Amino acid sequence: MCYGSFKIEHVRSHHQNVATPEDASSARKGISLYRFFPQAVIRNMVCASSIELKRLNKGGFGFWSLRNEFLIWSCVSFLIAMMMLGFYGVSGLVFFIAQSFVAVFLLETVNYIEHYGLRRNQRENGTFEPPNPNHSWNYSSFLTNMILFQLQRHSDHHQKASRPYQLIRHLPDAPQLPASYAAMILLAWLPPWWFRIMDKKVEQYATG
């Protein structure tokens, strides 16, 4: 889907920095999806490159190395794109790139929903409190949780990212969305309505 930086950023930054300004995938309160999306994608790639470069430098390798995960995933995307071009010509390539854009846009819309407006408290020395269930939005509806492997039970997913999906728990005290992801995605596409509904919810959870 042409998003070679996603895995690196998600595993090695998002799960550590969630709900802080340092996380490319956590949206602050008051930002619309359309402002969040381009900066989330750019920051994702910048963040992934710098994490990966640091790791490579430690092992004595440079950016242009076959050990660079960002490059490997980008090569996979490029290979699929070339197969599309070979099999179906320019229309195949256009189709592949366009559907990738839709997929990435939807992915970032879900990132936007999952942590919108939730922030970890900063300590006096500048570090942040550890992530807790208050830093993700949840919804335990049956059908969407079956289709998405219980992704909507998001707080518990962040408590332990390696927990098998079938064991992810519903945490009743964590922030709860008013509806399942599909409805929330439609709402996120309409910022004035999103702010009207979600900003109230954010304040509700911020004040306890």
Partner 1 sequence: MISGTSEAKTWIPIFALRRVSFLLAFSPYLLLYLAVHFGSRSEFKNLWMIFPFAVIFIVIPLVDWFIGLDPANPDSDQEDKMKHQLWYTLLPVLVLPVQGFTLFWAAEIYHSAELGRYGQIAWIVSVGVVGSSVGITSAHFRMLEA
Piece of the chain touching partner 1 by CB under 8 A; list 28-36, 54-62, 79-87, 198-206: 79-87
CA-to-CA separations, 87 to 80, 95, 96, in angstroms, rounded: 10, 12, 12
| Residues 139, 121 contacting (CB under 8 angstroms) | no
Size of site (CB under 8 A) for partner 1 = 51
Residue 180 sits in the site that holds partner 1 (CB under 8 A): yes
Q: Which of 96, 56, 51, 104 is nearest to 77 (CA)?
A: 96
Which residue of 123, 124, 126, 166 would you call a contact of partner 1, by CB under 8 A? 166
Which residue of 13, 20, 26, 144 would you call a contact of partner 1, by CB under 8 A? 144
Long-range contacts of 142-150 (CB under 8 A, 24+ apart): 143/180, 144/180, 144/181, 144/182, 148/181
Shortest Cβ distance from residue 157 to partner 1 (Å)? 9
- Which residues ranging from 83 to 112 are in contact with partner 1 (CB under 8 A)? 83-84, 87-89, 91-92, 95-96, 98-107
Q: Which of 206, 208, 207, 186 is nearest to 29 (CA)?
A: 206
Q: Which is nearer to partner 1, 29 or 185 (CB)?
A: 185
Beta-bridge partner residues of 122: 128
Beta-bridge partner residues of 176: 138
Which residue of 60, 142, 207, 208 would you call a contact of partner 1, by CB under 8 A? 142
Residue 185 sits in the site that holds partner 1 (CB under 8 A): yes
| Residues 69, 49 contacting (CB under 8 angstroms) | no
Distance CA 22, CA 113 (A): 17
Q: Which is nearer to partner 1, 99 or 127 (CB)?
A: 99
Residue 186 sits in the site that holds partner 1 (CB under 8 A): yes
Residue 134 sits in the site that holds partner 1 (CB under 8 A): no
Piece of the chain touching partner 1 by CB under 8 A; list 33-41, 50-58, 176-184, 198-206: 176-184
Residue 148 CB contacts under 8 Å (≥ 6 apart), including other chains = 181
Q: By the criterion CB under 8 A, which residues form the site for partner 1?
A: 1, 7, 10-11, 15, 80, 83-84, 87-89, 91-92, 95-96, 98-107, 140-149, 151, 161-162, 164-167, 169-170, 172, 179-180, 182-183, 185-186
